[in-house]
Amino acid sequence: MELNIKELRDKFNKSQQKVADETGISRDKIAKWETTSHKPKTEDYIKLKNYFESLAKDIGDSSVSLKFSQTESQGQPILDIRVCAGHGIGLEGDENKVIEWVNIPKFDGCYGVTVYGDSMYDRFKSGDVIFVRLIQGRNDFDFGQCYVVITNEDRYIKNIYQSGRGDEYVTMTSYNTEVNPDGRRKFPDRDILIDDIKFLYKVAGKLRRDQL
C-alpha cells in the first residue's frame, strides 16, 4: 500500500503530534505532507514506514506493508552521509540526498550509508556501504550486535553492549583491537548515555565498495 499518513494515523488512532513525538519528525512536516502535494524525503519516509509497520505488527495486522518509495523498483538508496568508524567525524553529508541505488531484496526497508574510518576493521572497512534499519525504541538493544548510533554531534558505527555504569548507559565498542605504542587501545570502548542517542539503526548488512 502507499504511504497515506492521514489514513494510517486514523487507523491507529494517532494524532499528528503523537506521530511527531514517536518518530522524531516535526508536526509541521506531517501536516504539510497531509495537506499539500509535498512528499517525505528518504529518511523521513523510512521512519514513517517503520513506525506504521511496527504499529501494525504489534496488533497482528498484516495488511500494512508500505512501499519503500515511489522509486522502490530501483532498489535501496545509498544516502550521501557517512558514519564514523573512528573517533568522530561530525554530521557530514546530506541525509536527504540519494547518491545511487542498489537492488538487493534482503535489504528491503533499509538504506545505505558509507563507513568512514578503521575502528570496525576488518568487518567493516572504510568506504564500505552498510545497510541499516531504524529501531523505534532507543532501549531496544540486541547487545553484542552492530548499530549506527546518532547523537546531536556525530554518527557512529559500533558494537553495543550493556554498560557497567548502569542501565542509563550503553558501551560502544570497536572490532579493531589495534594498540598504540604505549599499549593502550587505539579505539577504546566508550560509554554513552542512552538519553543522548537521537536515532538508533541496526546494521542489516554491507557491500564492499568494489561490489557496487
Q: What count of other Cβ atoms lies within 10 Å of the Cβ of residue 167?
A: 9
Same-domain status, 99 and 52: no
Same-domain status, 104 and 179: yes
Residue corresponding to grid cell 561490489: 211
Q: Tens digits of per-residue pLDDT, 115-149?
A: 988 899 888 988 899 999 888 776 778 999 999 99
**Domain assignment of residue 63, yes or no:** no
Tell me the CB-side half-sphere exposure of residue 40, using CA atoms within 13 A. 23
Angle formed by the axes of helices 27-35 and 16-23, nearest 10°: 130
Q: Tens digits of per-residue pLDDT, 142-198?
A: 999 999 998 888 889 999 999 999 999 999 999 999 999 999 999 999 999 999 998
Give the single-character DSSP code of 65: -
Residue 201: give the domain boundaries. Answer: 72-207
> What local confidence, expressed as pLDDT, does residue 209 receive?
64
Same-domain status, 163 and 189: yes
Cα–Cα nearest to 40, from 118, 95, 119:
95
Phi-psi map region of 39: left, alpha, beta (phi>0 left; psi -120 to 50 alpha): beta
Same-domain status, 52 and 80: no
Same-domain status, 152 and 127: yes
User: In the predicted model, what is the mean pLDDT of the chain?
Assistant: 82
Same-domain status, 159 and 201: yes
**H-helix or E-strand spanning residue 81:** strand 76-84
Residue corresponding to grid cell 540486541: 142
Task: Tell me whether residue 27 is exposed, middle or buried, using C-beta atoms within 10 angstroms of its C-beta: 0 to 12, 13 to 18, 19 or more.
Answer: middle
Q: What is the dihedral of CA 157, 161, 162, 168, to 10 degrees?
A: 0
Q: What is the CATH number of the domain that holds 155?
A: 2.10.109.10
Same-domain status, 91 and 178: yes
Distance from C-alpha of 6 to C-alpha of 28, rounded to nearest angstrom: 14
Structurally, the chain folds into a number of domains equal to 2
Same-domain status, 156 and 91: yes
**Domain assignment of residue 148, yes or no:** yes
Pick the more confident residue, 98 or 174.
174
Cα–Cα nearest to 149, from 188, 189, 195, 198:
198
